[in-house]
Amino acid sequence: MTALTDTRVRALRLPRPDWRLMLPAGWLLVVFTAALTVDWLPVPTPTTMDFMAPESLPSAQHWLGTDQDGRDLFSRVAHGARVSLTVGFLAPLVGLFFGTLLGLLSAWYGGVARTAILVTLDAILAFPGLVLAMALTAILGASVGSVTLALGVLTIPSFARISRARALPLIQREFVLAAKTAGAGDTWILLREVLPNMVMTLVTYTLTIVSVMIVIEGALSFLGVGVPPPAPSWGGMISEGRSALERAPHISLIPAAAMFFTVLSLNVLGDRLRRTAEAREGGLS
């Protein structure tokens, strides 16, 4: 009776929390919450200057201190998170849509269509990514939308290669051959038979690309070709704080830390999701 009771107690126990996942998930929750609610928090706007407290350290009035112009760093970091998260999550969606489409088409069709798609992708890959992003941003104009579109173009070849590599073995599977035998069209087979079996791979890769896009957006803003001021961005804040590194290093270190922990958290979660997807696929094979 005692052994049965112990077994029931162990069955009712909740699983132990995985701090390796809770910590990055908690950090991302803090960043998203700050970005969404900063306008309702008792902090100055990101462009308000406190001429009495330039380069001040964190205090009750300015939670993360101020920059050289007396602007509140917490407000600017939170508003900068909006830019980084918007670009980071929307740019991969551009590559996900067009890259997956091109990858599926190049895997399914041969001849001129496949050659044209692969040559186009190789042409995009021939340009250094950061240089191409700078060129596209200069042509389209500096704004959140143009930066998002420029970075989205950069991700198309990567998504196309991933989707093509994943689709090629799936096309040879029995369920695809059965659909062909039943008279299903190419569009039906690609969208209903092949694509659903690629979703988990594409999702895990998208999460990884999000972190890369945040870093590249920061690099563009650092170089002065990203989101133009006065809109705050993490890369722009790091660049603006360079002149005060000796006097007030927190001006650059705080946005740099926000970017570092955000990218690290996304990579940790993406890696865990990837391993989970691989284990699930291994169990089904």
At 60-78, the pLDDT tens digits run 888 899 999 899 999 999 9
In sequence order, which ranges of 62-185 are alpha helices (DSSP H)?
Answer: 73-108, 111-126, 129-140, 144-171, 174-181
Residue 91 covered by a domain: yes
Kindly state whether residue 49 falls inside one of the protein's structural domains. no
Q: What is the mean pLDDT of residues 172-185?
A: 84
**Quick check: is 248 in a domain?**
yes
Q: What's the CA gap between 108 and 245, in Å, rounded?
A: 55
In a domain, 264, yes or no: yes
Q: Looking at the domain assignment, is residue 236 inside a domain?
A: yes
For position 132, which CATH number holds? 1.10.3720.10
Total domain count, the chain? 1
**To which residue do tokens 């169990």 refer?**
283
The mean pLDDT value for 168-180 works out to: 87
Rounded distance, CA 277 to CA 108, Å?
24
Q: Is the pLDDT of residue 285 over 90?
A: no
The answer to whether residues 167 and 117 touch, using CB atoms and an 8 Å cutoff, is no
How confident is residue 284, by pLDDT bands cut at 50, 70 and 90?
very low
Percent of the chain beyond pLDDT 90?
32
Distance CA 100, CA 162 (A): 8
Q: For the segment 83-93, what is each residue's pLDDT rounded down to a tens digit? A: 999 999 999 99
Instruction: Assign 220 a pLDDT band (cuts: 50, 70, 90).
Output: confident
| Averaged pLDDT of the chain | 85
Residue 221, domain extent:
19-36+73-284
pTM recorded for the entire structure: 0.84
Q: Find the distance separating the first CA and the last CA of the chain, reported in whole Å.
A: 42
Across the range 250-266, mean pLDDT stands at 94
> Is residue 58 included in any domain, yes or no?
no
CA distances from 48 to 72, 232, 251 (A): 7, 12, 16
Asked whether the predicted pLDDT for residue 15 surpasses 80, the reply is no
Q: How large is the average pLDDT for residues 17-32? A: 86
Q: Is the pLDDT higher at 2 or at 216? A: 216
Domain assignment of residue 177, yes or no: yes
Mean per-residue pLDDT for 52-61? 88
- What is the average per-residue pLDDT within 121-146? 81
